[in-house]
């Protein structure tokens, strides 16, 4: 089951399949696509998993084992890669709130987000080689951009699984917080991202031209929100 909750411009998509450790089935892909449709227009998006054991444990092998031809495998890969591309291309900032382990395809979903916030006791790894396959949902390319091509090859090529602290050290995870503070931490960050101009900042970081960046700043400068905030600061000034 995939749940969508929207509140105050923040959309939260939760993959909640406890019987399968939040693994991705074909039906889950359909539900994720519909949830992304429903989240369109939100200022920020969070992707997380239900429970505390798994963010996403990869593809649902019990179901996907029925795919036996190259054509079927390619169709499945394109289907989920398109969903990960939609996550990466979401108009506002996307946070992967890693409530549990993100392994294989789960790590691929995680790196489709802009920001990864993890509970301190989780692990993450591109361990597809344990099944004699490779990342197929865009994760290898995104991992390379995050940690560099050589380190990405080492991680995905060996299937090495990192704890949260090690993943943060190599740039795979952005913030690690104690389990007790996890929900409050990612929610606070996501709400701040949803309330501010983070969507414009994301577009600039992702390659907006200088003209587009200056135009975005100018639009924000003349906004009511800017002048309301500026007035507060000026009233406090000595």
**Number of domains comprising the chain:** 2
Task: Examine the domain organization and report whether 128 and 180 are in the same domain.
Answer: yes
Task: Examine the domain organization and report whether 104 and 148 are in the same domain.
Answer: yes
pLDDT tens track for 197-238: 999 999 999 999 999 999 999 999 999 999 999 999 998 866
Task: Examine the domain organization and report whether 232 and 126 are in the same domain.
Answer: no
3-state secondary structure of 79: helix
Judge contact between 22 and 48, C-beta under 8 A: no
Task: Examine the domain organization and report whether 86 and 140 are in the same domain.
Answer: yes
The reply to whether 203 falls in a domain is: no
Task: Examine the domain organization and report whether 109 and 212 are in the same domain.
Answer: no
Kindly report the pTM of this predicted structure.
0.94
At 236 the pLDDT is: 82
Q: Phi and psi of 22, rounded to 5°?
A: 60, 30
At 237 the pLDDT is: 64
The reply to whether 168 falls in a domain is: yes
Domain of residue 73: give its range.
2-192
Task: Classify burial at 187, counting beta carbons within 10 Å of its beta carbon; exposed 0-12, middle 13-18, buried 19 or more.
Answer: middle
- Tell me which residues of the chain have a pLDDT lower than 50: none
Name the one residue in this structure whose structure tokens are 């450790």: 21
CA distance 160 to 154: 8
Residue 94 sits in a domain whose CATH number is: 3.90.226.10
At 217 the pLDDT is: 94
Judge contact between 99 and 122, C-beta under 8 A: yes
| CA-CA-CA-CA dihedral for 86, 152, 75, 87, to nearest 10 | -10
Task: Examine the domain organization and report whether 215 and 184 are in the same domain.
Answer: no
Task: Examine the domain organization and report whether 121 and 214 are in the same domain.
Answer: no
Task: Examine the domain organization and report whether 163 and 47 are in the same domain.
Answer: yes
The reply to whether 42 falls in a domain is: yes
Other Cβ atoms less than 10 A from the Cβ of 191: the count is: 17
CA distance 200 to 189: 17
The reply to whether 198 falls in a domain is: no
């Amino acid at each position: 089951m995939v749940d969508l909750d929207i509140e105050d411009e923040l959309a939260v998509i939760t993959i909640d399949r406890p019987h399968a450790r939040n693994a991705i089935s074909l039906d889950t892909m359909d539900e994720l696509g519909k949830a992304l449709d429903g989240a369109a227009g939100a200022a920020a998006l969070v992707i997380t998993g239900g429970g505390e054991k798994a963010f996403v444990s990869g593809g649902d092998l019990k179901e996907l084992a029925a795919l036996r031809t190259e054509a079927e495998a390619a169709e499945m890969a394109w289907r989920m890669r398109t969903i990960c591309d939609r996550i990466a291309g979401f108009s506002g900032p996307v946070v992967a709130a890693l409530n549990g382990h993100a392994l294989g395809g789960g790590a691929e979903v995680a790196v489709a987000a802009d920001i990864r916030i993890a509970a301190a006791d989780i692990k993450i790894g591109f361990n597809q080689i344990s099944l004699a396959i490779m990342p197929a949902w865009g994760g290898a390319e995104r991992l390379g951009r995050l940690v560099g091509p050589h380190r990405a090859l080492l991680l995905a090529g060996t299937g090495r699984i990192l704890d949260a602290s090690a993943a943060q050290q190599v740039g795979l995870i952005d913030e690690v917080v104690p389990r007790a503070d996890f929900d409050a931490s990612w929610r606070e960050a996501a709400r701040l991202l949803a309330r501010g101009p983070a969507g414009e900042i994301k577009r600039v970081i992702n390659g907006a031209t200088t003209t587009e960046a200056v135009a975005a700043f100018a639009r924000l400068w003349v906004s009511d929100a800017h002048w309301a905030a500026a007035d507060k600061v000026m009233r406090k000034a000595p």
